[in-house]
């Protein structure tokens, strides 16, 4: 199969996933960008839950993201909290209502149904191929990786637990599964 064929297939899949997400969001009066921002905020860590990080992750303008965050806050799906140490920083935390909404939307029902008959070893293989492709594209485009903390070169495992080598702060078992804007793969 040629790279163009792979491109076409991925594009079709992404379109279908986006369409399903759009239909889901509209039931709650939400635009796709608003659902995408809320999804990201349910998956990111405490260093990555700022308006700037959402803007970088989605690759959109500051204005678009700021409008989207305002709508999410008005709908009670998100709340803003000032950082305890640095008052200039604002953290965006999904409310219980916001988290429940995203839990209902992921994974997309169409994808779940389509993969039902696929064995777990094939799904694992597919995941590895997609992960490697994503990593390659991020590297080539010089984009931030926004990957899970446990795969980061700064993640340190000590006897007492995990530490972020960049901030020297402890990380919980749950936090190392989250995505981070400072993430870097080992060389």
Is 81:93 a contact under the CB 8 Å cutoff? yes
Our CB check for ligand SF4 shows the closer of 34 and 183 to be 183
Instruction: Write the secondary structure of the chain as one string of H (helix), E (strand) and C (coil).
Output: CCHHHHHHHHHHHHHHHHHHHHHHHHCCCCCHHHHHHHHHHHHECCCCCCHHHHHHHHCCCHHHHHHHHHHHHHCCCEEEEECCCCCCCEEEEECHHHHHHHHHHCCCHHHHHHHCCCCHHHHHHHHHHHHHHHHHHHHHCCCCCCCEHHHCCCEEEECCEEEECCCCCEECCCHHHCECCCCCCCC
The mark string for 7-46 relative to ligand SF4 (x by CB under 6 A, - otherwise) is --------------------------------------x-
Q: Segment near ligand SF4 (CB under 6 A), from 35-43, 57-65, 73-81, 176-184?
A: 176-184
Our CB check for ligand SF4 shows the closer of 45 and 50 to be 45
Q: 170-171 and 161-164: which strand pairing? A: antiparallel
- Least distance to ligand SF4, CB of residue 185, Å: 10
56 lies in the site for ligand SF4, by CB under 6 A: no
Alpha-carbon span 163 to 155, nearest angstrom = 6
Q: Select the residue interacting with ligand SF4 from 34, 43, 105, 155 (CB under 6 A).
A: 155
Our CB check for ligand SF4 shows the closer of 65 and 181 to be 181
- Least distance to ligand SF4, CB of residue 146, Å: 9
- Least distance to ligand SF4, CB of residue 186, Å: 11
The mark string for 93-132 relative to ligand SF4 (x by CB under 6 A, - otherwise) is ----------------------------------------
Residues contributing to the site for ligand SF4 (CB under 6 A): 45, 47, 149, 152, 154-155, 164, 166, 180, 182-183
């Amino acid at each position: 199969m040629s790279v163009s064929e792979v491109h076409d297939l991925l594009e079709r899949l992404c379109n279908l996933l986006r369409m399903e997400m759009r239909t889901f969001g509209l039931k709650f009066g939400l635009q796709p960008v608003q659902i995408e921002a809320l999804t990201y905020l349910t998956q990111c860590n405490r260093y990555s839950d700022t308006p700037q990080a959402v803007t970088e992750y989605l690759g959109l303008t500051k204005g678009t993201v700021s409008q989207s965050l305002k709508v999410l806050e008005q709908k009670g799906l998100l709340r803003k909290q000032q950082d305890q140490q640095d008052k200039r920083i604002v953290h965006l935390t999904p409310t219980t209502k916001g988290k429940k909404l995203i839990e209902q939307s992921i994974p997309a029902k169409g994808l779940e149904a389509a993969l039902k008959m696929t064995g777990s070893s094939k799904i694992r293989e597919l995941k590895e191929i997609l992960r490697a492709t994503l990593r390659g594209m991020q590297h080539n485009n010089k984009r931030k990786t926004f990957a899970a903390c446990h795969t980061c070169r700064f993640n340190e495992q000590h006897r007492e637990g995990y530490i972020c080598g960049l901030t020297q702060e402890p990380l919980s078992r749950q936090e190392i599964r989250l995505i981070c804007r400072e993430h870097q793969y080992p060389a």
